[in-house]
Amino acid sequence: MDSNENQPGPASQPRQHNQLHPLTSKLKPFLFYTTPILTLFLAISFTFTKTHYYKNQHLKKSHQRNPMSKPPSYCVRWMAPFLSGGGYSSESWSYILSLKENMKNPRFRLAIDQHGDLESLEFWEGLPQDVKNLAFDLYNTECQISETIVVCHSEPGAWYPPLFQTLPCPPTGYGKFLSVIGRTMFETDSVNLEHVKRCNRMDYVWVPTDFHVSTFVKSGVDASKVVKIVQPIDVNFFDPLKYEPLDIASKGNLVLGAKKSNSDSERQFVFLSVFKWEYRKGWDVLFKAYLQEFSKVDGVALYLLTNPYHSDRDFGNKIVEFVDSEFKNPVDGWAPIYVIDTHIAQIDLPRLYKAADAFLLPSRGEGWGRPLVEAMAMSLPVIATNWSGPTEYLTEENSYPLPVDRMSEVMEGPFRGHFWAEPSVNELRLLMRRVMCNVEEAKSKGRKAREDMIRRFSPEIVANIVTNNLHHILDKIV
């Protein structure tokens, strides 16, 4: 499952909201009278005192099913924005599903709590039914504080005490649980001082790449606490042999250029990019390279699956305004750009990738880049910036790593003063043309990409890594 960059909410920036999402407010008056589909939302409908935490545990106990056999006494409570549909949401689901399906002789039970971001009913409704059923079971799992390892899978501003309104993690503060793990990441070259302090309160800090190990330690996080735990990708779900392509022409709104005429029988070469609409994602780099390199006569189309990030949804006008400020109308006409700004259900994401010929993400920085590994698992040739999180898996053999022209300073937002990459527009132009003109080479890289995802990041591989680390923690404590 994707840290799904096409859904609202994200892995990187601290959320500065002072109120609960309106969805939660609407649910609160009738939560106790609805069907079990809404049970998972209960975790965020409480205020955040210790008393209410214990009420929450009592509620879960009242829903607990009678086990057929005695489960392990130790518990791992994974707290994450499971309902947001954003980056941390899909990452956390990927870990949970990997563990649930691949743990062998575990010494602990799994439990989950909603924490750290807003909730999306659309995302919940788009989950497969077996995942929803698992969510009910894990949410209703009772854990004794003294026998529990807590995983806080979110940005550090959500950790105890949270900087915005959310269920704190750990729920009752530090010192009461067996161990507390922070699972987080950043997309810039450093970690700010407040987050360093929060990381150092944790017993361990799990990060997904060598890039993060380096930046966290360099920024002041205790090196003895920092552990690399790579992310899993569900290579069985993202399997190109299982799906027919999604009809993206019916999903996309044309915002630039002209549609292919019915009389034109030649198939368009489809570039796809999936991201939330923010400067970090390099949409300006993408448009510059695409529109400088291609025109209407090239037979290409660029599809963007995007959603707003602290902005409005008027993507069409944003794109047109940017193009008007940067380009003159080409003689041959614009190469078309389509925007998909409606929700794509999780179960339909593989079909979206299947509809593309190549995947692009010239971002300035990524924590991991779940759309990238999803596209790679679907055997798509990928062009992505060769810096930050993706350096963990991009190679010349399995992708088209995009060179960086220089580093630039972040000028606004919570990471102001940090640095991130400026991917090369000219190199992106060359790589896009190369992918389009060398189809067999691109397919070969796509096949190698899927092989690498299976070999390094498949659920059973990562479940073993996570389980071994948790068992090691238990060995040191008990």
- The CATH number of whichever domain residue 296 belongs to comes to 3.40.50.2000
- Looking at residue 298, its amino acid is D
User: With DSSP H G I counted as helix, E B as strand and the rest as coil, what are the percentages for the chain, rounded to 5?
Assistant: 40, 20, 40
381 and 293 within one domain: yes
Quote the pLDDT of residue 37.
36
State the virtual CA torsion across 244, 346, 136, 106 in degrees, nearest 10: 80
Other C-beta atoms within 10 Å of 293: how many?
19
Q: Indicate whether 2 belongs to any domain.
A: no
- Residue environment code for 119-156, b if the CB has 16+ CB neighbours within 10 A, otherwise e: bbbebbebbeeebeebbebbbbbebebebbbbbbbbbb
pLDDT values of the chain reduced to their tens digit, one per residue, 478 residues: 433 444 433 333 334 333 333 323 322 222 222 333 344 444 333 333 344 444 455 445 544 444 455 678 899 999 999 999 888 998 999 999 999 999 887 899 999 999 998 888 888 988 889 999 999 999 999 999 999 999 999 999 999 999 999 999 999 989 899 999 999 999 999 999 999 999 999 999 999 999 999 999 999 999 999 999 999 999 999 999 999 999 999 999 999 999 876 656 678 999 999 999 999 999 999 999 999 999 999 999 999 999 865 555 788 888 999 999 999 888 889 999 999 988 888 899 999 999 999 999 999 999 999 999 999 999 999 999 999 999 999 999 999 999 999 999 999 888 999 999 999 999 999 999 999 999 999 999 999 999 999 999 999 999 999 999 999 999 998 7
393 and 298 within one domain: yes
List the structure tokens of 114. 């909603």
Number of domains in the chain: 2
Q: Indicate whether 4 belongs to any domain.
A: no
Quote the pLDDT of residue 351.
98
Q: Indicate whether 5 belongs to any domain.
A: no
Other C-beta atoms within 10 Å of 268: how many?
16
Q: What are phi and psi of 36, to 5 degrees?
A: -60, -15
d(CA 135, CA 40): 7
Q: Indicate whether 209 belongs to any domain.
A: yes
383 and 372 within one domain: yes
Q: Are strands 179-183 and 358-361 parallel, antiparallel or unpaired?
A: unpaired
268 and 180 within one domain: no
152 and 74 within one domain: yes
Residue 348: name the closest of 259, 426, 248, 222 by CA.
Answer: 248
Quote the pLDDT of residue 85.
86
CA distance between the termini of the chain: 34
CB-based burial of residue 104 (10 Å sphere; 0-12 exposed, 13-18 middle, 19+ buried)? exposed
CATH number at residue 201: 3.40.50
State the virtual CA torsion across 169, 192, 383, 209 in degrees, nearest 10: -60
List the structure tokens of 469. 């680390």
Residue 206: name the closest of 216, 195, 218 by CA.
Answer: 216
Beta strands in 278-391 (DSSP E): 300-308, 337-340, 358-361, 382-385
264 and 169 within one domain: no
375 and 465 within one domain: no
Other C-beta atoms within 10 Å of 313: how many?
13
Range of the domain at 106: 22-232+458-477
Q: Indicate whether 10 belongs to any domain.
A: no
- Looking at residue 257, its amino acid is G
327 and 293 within one domain: yes
Quote the pLDDT of residue 357.
98
Q: Indicate whether 184 belongs to any domain.
A: yes
249 and 179 within one domain: no
Other C-beta atoms within 10 Å of 70: how many?
6
289 and 205 within one domain: no
Handedness of CA 289, 291, 295, 298 (dihedral sign): positive
Element (H, E) at 201: helix 193-201
Residue 380: name the closest of 443, 454, 304, 301 by CA.
Answer: 443
286 and 200 within one domain: no
d(CA 139, CA 33): 18
400 and 309 within one domain: yes
d(CA 222, CA 232): 25
